[in-house]
Amino acid sequence: MNNEKQSIAVVGAGIGGLSAAYDLAKDGNKVVIFEASDHVGGLAAGFKEPHWDWTVERFYHHWFHSDEHMLGLIDELGWSNQVIFPKPTTVMYYRGKFYPFDSITAALMYPGLGWGINKIRFGLIGLYLRLTNNWQALEKTTVDTWMRKWAGDKVYESMWEPMMIGKFGEGYAKVVNMAWFWARLHARTTRLGTFEGGFQIFADKFAERLEQMGVEIRLESHVTEIKAADNNGISITTAVGQTEHFSQALVTTSPGLLARLAPDLPKTYLDGLLSLTSMGAVVMVVSLKHQLSQEGYYWYNIPKAAGFPFLSLVEHTNFVKPEYFGGDHILYIGDYLPQDHAYFDLSKSELEAKFLPHLQKFNPDFSPDWVKKTWLFRTKYAQPVPLVNHSQNIPAIRTPIEGLYFASMSQVYPWDRGTNFAVEIGRRAASMMIQDKND
């Protein structure tokens, strides 16, 4: 047993990496976090204009009332009084209009399902998926096959197929397994929450707490190579050519990046990493002079078949007050896309020309002079694609290189990506590292 204080590296200062560092530091280890960007928070990071009191997330985020891992961590940190749960309205598109769809009553009134047996089947399917815990059986079939059998073509094609196509595109919508869908309905609530000041404020406070605990956070520190050290442990090399030795290292990047950073991993593990597929995301944040949604709607679910050049429109300031942003009204225009989609190469002005004219469909009074400023954010690693029997493809947290660990959103399956399960996978990895160190 080795109880000596050890130096441990964490690659990535997203929520998962910060959570792992928290537990590793509590165990008495010296922890160094390497982060390539100039900020902490990962995909949950935000930005702020000088006249704003709050930050805005680069990629829209919120918490669910059932996010026990994230809310439990916040409670440990003593910040539960800074979590708020407003009551925004989510709407569904049907024949040119939007209808609320965030409660049982709203679902019953939604006209897209018609009346009678379809609404009964919709309700029974939702109830079954919330009550059952047998997701292992569900991963053996696809969403498309299971839903058509049990919900029926009408219910599936009206309600859930548009979401599947929007999330995974035509290429993957029919091959995603049913366990992924089960997890979304099983774990999520209609109550949506955030942190006072925005997710970046939470990430910054968390990083400050870690530094108070002795964790060293190195921003703009690009790791270029990870390998087994000659005298046990792990060697980390950065872009400036510096190599350091650590007793253990946890990587919280994408599977593809781990494969590039640690090419000495055995071929079977590398092949497993490289076989994983994910969708990218393109999000334009827009600051408006006026409120777009006259009804005060927060989240618009838009089927691709409706002809919009994006999947979702989210009016953030119908979730939290525009006063937090100097009176600006903040919109997200977002889409999940294949990694080779043209939107990853178009300029911001080209995407503005595609996106902004469609805002008039949400408010006929909209005109281009409403737009104060836009920001564009893109990532090619946003949504893992889980195929049939996907549990067999999940990379082990303990990699075949002794002392090297991996924790990413590709491993939270059957649960969906998000900060809640980033906390869970990060802390689970830290627990394994502590256990292995003490054995």
pLDDT, one tens digit per residue, over 104-148 is 677 777 777 776 787 788 888 888 888 888 999 999 999 999 999
pLDDT of residue 99: 82
Helix axes 199-212, 68-77, angle to 10 degrees: 50
pLDDT of residue 304: 83
Give me the architecture of the 278-384 domain, per CATH: Alpha-Beta Complex (3.90)
pTM metric for this prediction: 0.92
pLDDT, one tens digit per residue, over 259-274 is 999 999 999 999 999 9
Q: Is the dihedral of CA 315, 316, 320, 326 positive or negative?
A: negative
DSSP 396: P
Only one residue has tokens 């997330």, namely: 57
The CATH number, out of the four listed (3.60.150.10, 3.50.50.60, 3.20.20.70, 3.40.50.10490), of the domain defined by the range 7-83+196-276+388-438 = 3.50.50.60
**Residue ranges per domain, the chain?**
7-83+196-276+388-438, 103-187, 278-384
- Residues 126-135 as b or e (16 or more Cβ within 10 Å = b): eeebeeeeeb
